[in-house]
Structure 1
Amino acid sequence: MSENKTENLIYYLCFIAFAFPLLPNFLRNVLMALLVITVIISYFSSKVNKNINVKLIFLGSSLYLTYLLSMFWTDNIDLGLKKLSTGLPLLVFPIIAGLLSKDVINRLRNKIHYLLGIYAISVLLTFIVFFLIFIDHYGYSLVQHFPTVINKDLGPYNIHPIYMSMHGAVSIIISLYLLHKVDFNRWQLLLIILCDILIVCFMLILIKKGPIISMVISSAYLVLALKNRKIVLILSILTAILTSVIIFQPKVNRKFSELLNINNANKTELTSTNIRLIIYDCGKELVPDAGLFGFGVGDTRGKLLDCYESKNHELLKSKYNSHNQFLSIILRSGFLGLFCYLLFLLYLFIRSLFSKSYLVIAILVFYTLVMLSENILEREDGVVYVSFITLILFVLFNYSNVEKITYHGQK
């Protein structure tokens, strides 16, 4: 395959990848494999202008390498291998992002508004399709059953509600950025606002507190950074809708009210907040023993389950993870793993701050906040999307040796 054909294939595969939420699980994995293979072929077949970001590849894959290293002291080898397989995007996407050619980056940058639009539209369409399937087959008890259906009853399209809610939040952040950058007409603006409201409604049906709160915080940062009155108004409308539903819808209100009673929480009543409090108690007990190198990627779950046995048998039955990505990293690969991952995040933040890549920063803030209450890098639903979106957008917005980003209809 010629170099131009390979780069064209990479270009179109990236477009398809931004529609990840619409793709079934097996096709998503095929796409990821095709991307890494074609990017590597393109890099080694290029005779001039080879573009490699060694720092991004090394820092981006360093967490996965600590997981790999921890296999030397992991007792549960089978589980360790499964965890390494699930976490493979932590290695694959830094390679893809670090080896993308200058020509491909320039072409993608010049279509960045299309890429972002494809992602946002695919998220909305996924919500709508899931909703229509639910209404057709399961009835109208939305708040109670819709999250369970999308998690367990959609076959190759199954996705945990927390990750679907995260998709919704990121699409809202992206839409705010596009509203700032692109000069939409009045009807296009109205349509985008209505779509955002619809996505917010779906997020409220899923009732995942972490993504909702993190979205509001990261969106507020983006709005303040861009200093645009129009998107301030739009975010205010969305926040008002969120606040009204949280106050007046009983089930949603109960979920969020848990956060106001943490100090008085009765840990015998297993709300989502109380479950996390018990898990974090176990985490505090286990962290000193995890030390510099951790328990190993295959043994972390066993350590947590042993602790749950002495704390609460319901947690033991459900086999809960640590519900904090940073805590999980310490348990898996110790403070060495945590240092590697924090160094990578710091690199992304600093580079993005210097280049004023406010959208990238807002998305990084969002994912970092969600990591405080969820293990979003340990299920395929999460690690693929988080790795792809953050790294590809980082590359497109932060490379100084490529052409300036242009937007169709830019103000």
Structure 2
Amino acid sequence: MKQFILQYNNSVVYFFLMAIALFPVLPTGVESVLMFSGFLFSLCYFFLEGKKFWNKDKTIQLLLFSSLFLIFAFTLLYTSDIKTGIKFIIRLLPTVLFPAIFLFNDKDLLNAKQIKVITNVYCLAVVLILFFLHITLINELYSSNLKFWDFRQLIESKIKVHGTYLAMWVGFAIIVLVYKIKNEIASKKYFIILIQLLIIAYFFYWLYIIGSRMPFVATIMVCFFCLFKNLKQIIFASILLIILTFILVSKVDRIGERFEKLKNYNFSFPEGKYEDNYPNISNEQIRNGIYFCSYETLKLEPILGYGVGDVDAKLQSCYDEKFTNTDTYKVISYNSHNEYLNIILSSGIIGLVLFLFSQFYFLRKAFYYKLGIYISFVFFIFLNFSFENILSRHDGVIFFGFFNSLLFFQNRNLNEKSIN
């Protein structure tokens, strides 16, 4: 067994990472088995061989990758609902296990070709899940009578994935393909570029269909970051983007409908019984109440927060106290819908600062080594953090933990150099 681990370690870990890249179409249980199996195999290799090349930098990186897990674990010391808190930090385990898989191995774990295959597998998984939806919802897809939220619920009922997370997966697949096209242009593989452009067009079609605004906007913004290198190009592209966006939101439904509501934005809260009045209660009104209570709650414990187990209960208490003229916040439980707010509510401003410091460390290294796709991923995920608790669901944690590690460690010589 020892000889097998030493000889085939890289190949086995590569297989697990390639399999995990299929997470958009895998059941949660299968994802977890693959992740823990890859971690345990790497851990065995570490005990046999890996301790020889373990160093201070690896220790620092493992701690920083695990920062949110450690911060939330610390809040268990003062949270009231220990059981809920433990469930939450267990959900964050991918943010620890994925970087450990890379750090327990040496710098030659994966080569550039293998990284390319893994990202190709991810894009294939996104294609498969969208094809499945296309086939199973073919009649509803082209129905002009179906309302936006009804169609969104149909999507979520078919694949058991929240629409925002699906849109986020699709958006990042577009970003990955943009980088692949940049590489293919240099090698003049025009047929492959054509195929990739067609896939990107199909992905954008589904972003429009799903109608999640932040993933849509974040995808566009990061793609422009990928494509343009100087200020003039960015200014020209930005003007073009504004024109195209205006046309899009003015002339089409679904995503246009979502943006149209922002034009007539009115700061108000839900009113009346949800069951009778839900067609008239907008997403914006619900979020107004969420952010209002998030602010009211966090200002009472801004330094250390309430502990990871008590956040939702504190928000619900505010909803019950402030919104007595509606049962909207009783029918459905709402979290803070903002990852930064969730971190502050859980661990205070201190927790948020520590988490952002860890990300600054990795971004600083990424800029130094010109890891464009990793920088793009971080900007993409941080934009999405602004309107959703991405790390409160398994689908968000597996996405963040997997790519945050894979793309950072794509440079095999990353740990051999130092930043001046």
Q: Same fold judged by TM-score > 0.5?
A: yes
Q: Give the match for residue 306 of structure 1.
A: 317
Structure 2 stretches of 5 or more lacking a match? 271-279
Match of 2:105 in 1: 100
What is the aligned partner in structure 1 of residue 262 from structure 2? 259
**Shift in Å at residue 115 of structure 1?**
2.1
**Any residues of structure 2 matched to 1:210-249 within 5 Å, and which?**
210-225=214-229, 244-249=247-252
- Cα contact 1:296–1:332 (8 A) shared by 2: yes
Q: C-alpha displacement at 1:245, in angstroms?
A: 4.0
* Counterpart in the other structure of 2:211: 207
Q: TM-score, normalised by structure 1?
A: 0.87
CA distance in 2, matches of 1:51, 1:111: 23
For 2:43 and 2:170, the matched residues in 1 are separated by: 32
Matched, 1:296 2:298: no
Three-state SS of the structure 2 residue aligned to 1:259 is: helix
- 2:360 corresponds to 1:346: yes
Q: Percent identity?
A: 24
Q: 1:376 to 1:226 in 2, by over 3 A?
A: farther
Q: Which has the higher contact order (CA 8 A, sep 6+)?
A: 1
TM superposition shift of 1:110: 3.5
Aligned match for 1:168, one of 166, 170, 173: 170
What is the Cα deviation at residue 328 of structure 1?
A: 0.2
Alpha carbons 1:123, 1:171 under 8 Å: kept: yes
Instruction: Compare 94-103 and 166-175 and name the one that shifted more.
Output: 94-103
TM-superposed CA distance for 1:33, in Å, is 0.8
Pairwise CA distance, 1:270: 3.2
* Separation in structure 2 between the aligned mates of residue 67 and residue 310 of structure 1, nearest angstrom: 27
- Count of residues in Structure 1 that have an aligned counterpart in Structure 2: 394
Aligned residue in 2 for 1:26 = 29
Secondary structure in 1 aligned to 2:228?
helix
Could you list the per-position Cα deviations for residues 337-386 of structure 1 after superposition, in whole angstroms to 9, with x for gaps in the alignment?
Answer: 21221011111211111111111111110100110111001100101111
Residue pairs, 1:2-401, within 5 angstroms: 2=3, 3-46=6-49, 50-51=53-54, 53-105=58-110, 107=111, 109-135=112-138, 140=143, 141=146, 143-154=148-159, 158-182=160-184, 183=187, 185-225=189-229, 244-262=247-265, 264-268=266-270, 270-312=281-323, 313-397=327-411, 399-401=413-415
Quickly say closer, same or farther: Cα 1:308–1:36, change in 2 above 3 A: same
Q: CA deviation at 1:50?
A: 2.4
Structure-2-length-normalised TM-score: 0.85
Q: In structure 1, how many angstroms separate the alpha carbons of the residues matched to 2:412 and 2:78? A: 38
Q: Is the 8 A contact 1:357 1:398 kept in 2?
A: no
Q: Residues 233-285 of structure 1, C-alpha deviation per residue, up to 9 Å, x if partnerless? A: 9x9999987664432123432311233344x3333363222322221111211
Check 1:356–1:258 CA distance in 2 against 1; reply closer, same or farther (3 A cut). same
- The AA in structure 2 aligned to 1:81 is I
Q: 1:97 to 1:340 in 2, by over 3 A?
A: farther
Q: Distance in 2 between matches of 1:38 and 1:148?
A: 39
Structure 2 vs 1, CA of residues 98 and 203 (structure 1 numbering), >3 Å: closer, same or farther? same
Structure number with bigger Rg: 2
Cα distance, 1:239–1:216 mapped onto 2, change above 3 Å: farther
Q: AA paired with 1:389?
A: F
Q: Which runs of 5+ in 1 are unaligned?
A: 404-411
